[in-house]
Chains A and B, each alone.
Chain A
Amino acid sequence: MTLTAQSIPISTLANAKHTRLVSFENSNSFLKRHDSEGSLVIAAGHRENPSVHAHSDDENPIVILEGQRPRWYGARVCQGDHVSNSHRSKIETARESFAACLRPSDDGRDLIVIASHWDKPALEALKVALQGQYKVIRNGVKIQCAVTQVIPTMEGLGSFHSAKSQLKDGSTLLIELGYGTAEIWFIDESGQIVDGAPVTRLGVINLVKAIADDPTVRALTQDNSGTVNLSAISQALQQDTLGKISAANWQAVKAKYASEFLKDFQGYLRTQHANHLQSVSNLVLTGGGAALLSSIQPKLSQVFIVPTQPQTASVRGACERQMSNV
């Protein structure tokens, strides 16, 4: 039997279970969710109408949203031809991305969603985009729920909260290293963002592209058309080897280009934020890039506070911050 969104029985939420608080981040590279059941991270790329052989799971879900074509999300899809979120606005993709992150246990619930964005003027639009009823079939399971309230928040504040217990008195420079962009935030003693902006040049994609241009990597990983699979390199950064490259050589390649990346990072901060750097009491490095770079270059931990599980620190922290206000 083929399930479609139209086959979901229409029912009211009169008998809804208790309301659930969900933290959600619609990054261009990863969709992240956190709630009382834990964290969920899904690579933010999809393919429509996947074949019957597509292997779906919680991090690689097949999602049918309100009668649209089935979409297969996740890291497996991103290894091949896929539609990336990176060229669309986060407002435009917010609803479909959130649908991909729904859980079976959301069925029948009202959801209060804490949603983050780096662009303050966009927060209201994000709120409007996410609110409303959701009728979804995810990995063959029907989920019907309603986002009744959206609490928009600035990106960075969730990660700040995750690191808060490790901070000294004083102001903080928080750097959230994502795949496509990095966000640099200056946060005062009271926890308010007082300055900051996203910086494309510092996204981990720049490290990935530099490695892809390495002659040895290119020679051993390019396909017949001369293209090197950037997604494969991204995944391999977390692993001990890449394709035919030996473990020792791969470690050497990673160390070399991570070093270059960090020097560029230093140069950017020196030229753009030298005054701030002299005055802040805390440096926080978070996001997926923080996990990657601190594993390749351990000396970063001498100066940076890196929250545990930095890739999900933002959504976990946003959730905890909201709960602490209750």
Chain B
Amino acid sequence: MSVKCPMSKMLQITVTDEVAQQIKSLMGITGHERPGALINLLVRRYGQDLARCMSGDVLSSHDMRVQLSPVVSLPTPVDLPLPHEDALSTQDTPPGTAFLAMDFDS
């Protein structure tokens, strides 16, 4: 499974099948539609722990390997996800509401 790196949309993270399955399970719980957004949330909340799972330098490698992640053992984030920005048409939605729904991780 390959997902966008939360550090930069230019980078890709390759994760093991096991981690991919764990991420998919978490996506079902949190309602995130894209793994990149979920990973970013996890990085924000548990940055140090998650960072330890990554081999290689996030900022110097374009081909990172993520080993078995402990994130599934962490408590489920309680933040409700915002409506996805794609679901809001900026033509019809007040610009303020559209801004609040923007996802800056993707």
Contact = CB atoms under 8 A, between A and B. Distances in A.
A255 B9 contact: yes
Given A249-B60, A280-B94, A269 B105 contact: no
A266 B99 contact: yes
With a 10 A CB-CB cut-off, give which of A262, A280, A299 has the most chain B CB atoms: A299
B59 A283 contact: no
Interface in B53-100: 57, 59-60, 90, 94-100
B5 to A, nearest CB: 8
Nearest to A256: B7
A259 B103 CA distance: 9
A269 B96 contact: yes
Given A276-B96, A302-B98, A304-B95, A255 B59 contact: no
A32 B105 CA distance: 34
Contacts of B105: 259
Contact of A263 (B9, B59, B104): B104
A201 B10 CA distance: 28
Contacts of B95: 280-283, 303-304
A304 B99 CA distance: 8
With a 10 A CB-CB cut-off, give which of A253, A266, A273, A276 has the most chain B CB atoms: A266
Interface residues of A, number: 31
Q: Range of interface residues on chain B?
A: 20 to 34
Contacts, number: 72
Q: Is the interface of A mostly helix, strand, loop or mixed?
A: helix
B7 A252 contact: yes
Contacts of B94: 277-281
B1 interface: no
A323 interface: no
B100 to A, nearest CB: 6
Interface in A243-286: 248-249, 251-253, 255-256, 258-259, 262-263, 266, 269-270, 273-274, 276-283
A252 B96 contact: no
A173 interface: yes
Contact of A297 (B7, B59, B60, B104): B104
A239 interface: no
Contacts of A263: 104
B60 A173 contact: no
A277 B99 contact: yes
A309 interface: no
A281 B97 CA distance: 11
B8 interface: yes
Contacts of A281: 94-95
A251 B8 contact: yes
Contacts of A276: 96
A133 interface: no
Contacts of A304: 95, 99
21 contacts: A249-B59, A252-B7, A252-B11, A253-B59, A255-B10, A258-B104, A266-B100, A269-B99, A277-B97, A278-B94, A279-B94, A279-B96, A280-B95, A281-B95, A283-B99, A297-B104, A299-B102, A302-B102, A303-B90, A303-B96, A304-B95
Interface of A: 173, 216, 248-249, 251-253, 255-256, 258-259, 262-263, 266, 269-270, 273-274, 276-283, 297, 299, 302-304
Listed from nearest, the 9 A-B pairs whose CB atoms lie closest are: A277-B96, A252-B8, A259-B104, A283-B95, A303-B95, A303-B99, A262-B104, A303-B98, A256-B7
